[in-house]
Structure formats: structure tokens, C-alpha cells
Amino acid sequence: MDIVVLAGGLSSERDVSFKSGEMVAKALRAKGHRALVLDVFMGYSDKECDITDIFEHSEENSVKIETIPSEAPDIKAIIASRPDQSPSFFGPNVIKICQKADIVFMALHGGDGESGKVQAALDLYGVKYTGNDYVSSAIAMDKNMTKEFFKRAGVPVPEGKSLKKADRKDFVFESFPCIVKPNCGGSSIGVTIVESAAELDAALDAAFEWEDEVVVEQFIKGREFSDGVIEGKALPVIEIAPKQGFYDYKNKYAAGSAVETCPAEISEKATQAMQDYAEKAFKALGLTTYARMDFMMDADENIYCLEANTLPGMTPTSLLPQEAAVTGINFEDLCEYLIQVSLKKYN
């Protein structure tokens, strides 16, 4: 198959997306496919290569990244560096190249790539892609809306409030410690644990730097877990234990910053409960292909579902691939499997 691995974009997870894209493309090439890593925002100029034969040399024509930087990308600088300065989110020839592919593997994280907007555009252009449809993607991207869907499905969530930038002046929150985070962000960028009312303003400033709506919710002290779901069936639970602090951007992507254990070393009762909640959450959001749910569990084994990731990280050491590996599915087979699962929505 000729496959576009769509990555990059303009989210705070741009660099992470490139690493996912690079590893997915490598895995798909090992399975005999011609996979091209394409930056959805920068696109591909006709001056670089005749796109008629772009898949003939897909590896040479792919975007490449050495490592994930320790700091989130400067989005304004990236926008300013685009040669054509078009107002379109899609870079030159992106749609044309996607239309030439048999399927687009969505390696985008956060922003427009995970919010359903890119999926909706690809639908209009008749392009097949991996992952969920635009409606369920849009719901899952909104943390506040996601929590409402979870509550209706009987999935426990932390108590909290949503706050828009325009309403900040009248905002009151009296339960501390709490956690402040952008409503649609990922990779823990803009997230702050707040111990007292005196720290709240600075935390709101940090979150509002990324978007105009934030979530302020109770901080759950305990252990952090994640559980992937493919076609409605939960994978083994994985525990994430940062060596210092919490599971922020640095601890997620700096080698050796966290200990990840799969299957998680918790009671059978807690494991079953978390997997049940993951499957309920998946169904509640209308997801059909694959996703990953993040959880916290306190000392009394009370479980709280934090959010859903509809395009989870895809490197061999990312959480979803680690969970799949425990069931006997290696990374190359997983990438192939996710394509086959995603193609079912077109049958």
C-alpha cells in the first residue's frame, strides 16, 4: 500500500507527532508498504520533487527528526517560517498527496489533528484515514465535554470546573490542591498542580497561554495509569511512575524520566475495574477504532478517568504499543493492525 503518515501541524505536540510518524513509517516499510511522512502544515513543494512519483522514493522524501526537544515548540515561529504564508492549515500539495495514498495514517497529536477538523476535511476529499471519525474525535478532544459523557456512562471523573478566559475575573475555586490544564491540550503542556489560592493566578496564566478555555479540577494524589482500547476491547493496564514530579512534558519524552510497568502491579479487582471503565469511556464517546484512556487511582483504590486520547503516541516505547506488546502484538504488527481496524469504518 502507498501510505501517507500525516504528522506535525501546529499543536504543542508537533515534535512528538514527528517522532510517532517516523517510527510508524519505519514499521510500515518493514511490512512492505511505501510510507511517506508528511508535515500537514508545511506540506511539500513541487520544487522538491514531482509529486506524481512521490511514493517511489517515500523514505528520502519523508520529514525526519532526530530527537524530541525538551521544550514545547514555538508555534508562532513555525507559522512565520512557512514559505507560502497561506492562511490554510494544509500545506502545499498535502491534500493532493493524501488523495494519491491508499490510506493516511494519522500520527498527528493534539490541535487540529486530533480535534476532528483534519478528519472532517479528509472525509470531504474522499481520503481514508486511521483512527476515529471527526465527531467522536471532536468530543474526546474537549476535556470538559468528555467528562460529561463519562459521568453519564458511569465512569468516575475528578470534580472540577471549566473556565473561559473572558470569565476569569469572576472565577472562584476553593478546593486545594487542584490541577489546572488547557481544555484541549495534550502532553501535559500548560498543566500546573496548584497547592493554594495564592498559586492559582500563575497557573491560569500558564494554561491560558495555550488556549482560551481551561479546566480546573481536584488533584487526585495517587498512582497514574493508562489503558488502551482497540475496537472496544481494553488492553492490559500500564502504570506510569515519574522519578521526579508528575508526568509532565519532560517526563513523558526524556529517556529514563519515568518507570512504566505493564501489566500494572495492582489488584485483580482494580485492573478489571480500570479496564471496564476504559471500555465504557470508549463507547460513551462513540469511538470505534482505537484510543487510550488515562487514569489516576488513590490510596483507597478509587479510580478516576482523566481523559481520552484518540491519537495516542506511536513509538515502540509509547504507552499503547507497550500494552499491545504484552498481548503478543509487536510494534510493526500493531501499526498494520490499526490500519486494518480503521479500514472497517469504510466497509
Instruction: Report yes or no: 289 and 238 within 8 Å, Cβ to Cβ.
Output: no
Read off the pTM.
Answer: 0.90
Question: Has residue 249 got a pLDDT over 50?
Answer: no
**Measured between alpha carbons, how far is 11 from 219 in angstroms, rounded to an integer?**
25
163, β-bridge pairs:
214
Q: Does domain 160-218 have CATH number 3.40.50.300?
A: no
pLDDT grade for 45, boundaries at 50, 70 and 90: confident
% of the chain beyond a pLDDT of 70: 93
b/e per residue 254-271 (b: at least 16 CB within 10 A): eeeebeeebebebeeebb
Question: Has residue 68 got a pLDDT over 80?
Answer: no
Question: Has residue 327 got a pLDDT over 80?
Answer: yes
How confident is the model at residue 180, as a pLDDT?
A: 94
How confident is the model at residue 169, as a pLDDT?
A: 84
**Measured between alpha carbons, how far is 101 from 97 in angstroms, rounded to an integer?**
7
Report the chain's mean pLDDT, rounded to a whole number: 91
What cell does 331 get? 510494534
Helical residues (DSSP H) of the chain, grouped into ranges: 14-30, 75-81, 94-100, 111-114, 117-124, 134-141, 143-152, 200-208, 249-253, 268-284, 319-326, 331-343
Question: Has residue 164 got a pLDDT over 80?
Answer: yes
pLDDT grade for 253, boundaries at 50, 70 and 90: very low
Per-residue model confidence as pLDDT tens digits over 188-221: 678 999 999 889 999 999 999 888 899 999 999 9
pLDDT grade for 242, boundaries at 50, 70 and 90: confident
How confident is the model at residue 46, as a pLDDT?
A: 63
How confident is the model at residue 251, as a pLDDT?
A: 44
**Measured between alpha carbons, how far is 251 from 66 in angstroms, rounded to an integer?**
18
Determine which helix (DSSP H) or strand (DSSP E) holds 240, and give its type and residue range.
strand 238-242
Collapse the DSSP code of 214 into the 3-class scheme (helix H, G, I; strand E, B; otherwise coil) and give the result.
strand
Identity of residue 251: N
What are the sequence ranges of the domains in the chain?
2-129, 140-156+221-346, 160-218
Q: Does domain 140-156+221-346 have CATH number 3.30.470.20?
A: yes
Question: Has residue 298 got a pLDDT over 80?
Answer: yes
How confident is the model at residue 187, as a pLDDT?
A: 53
The third-level CATH classification (topology) of the domain covering 2-129 is Rossmann fold (3.40.50)
Whose CA is closest to 281, among 323, 309, 302, 260? 309
Collapse the DSSP code of 273 into the 3-class scheme (helix H, G, I; strand E, B; otherwise coil) and give the result.
helix
**Measured between alpha carbons, how far is 134 from 114 in angstroms, rounded to an integer?**
9
**Measured between alpha carbons, how far is 172 from 160 in angstroms, rounded to an integer?**
11
Decide if 2-129 and 160-218 have a common fold: no
Nearby residues of 66 by Cβ (< 8 Å), 6 or more positions away? none
How confident is the model at residue 6, as a pLDDT?
A: 98
pLDDT grade for 73, boundaries at 50, 70 and 90: confident
How confident is the model at residue 52, as a pLDDT?
A: 87
Task: Look at the chain and count its residues.
Answer: 347
Question: Has residue 255 got a pLDDT over 80?
Answer: no
Question: Has residue 306 got a pLDDT over 90?
Answer: yes
Tell me, rounded to whole angstroms, the distance of Cα 230 from its chain centroid: 15
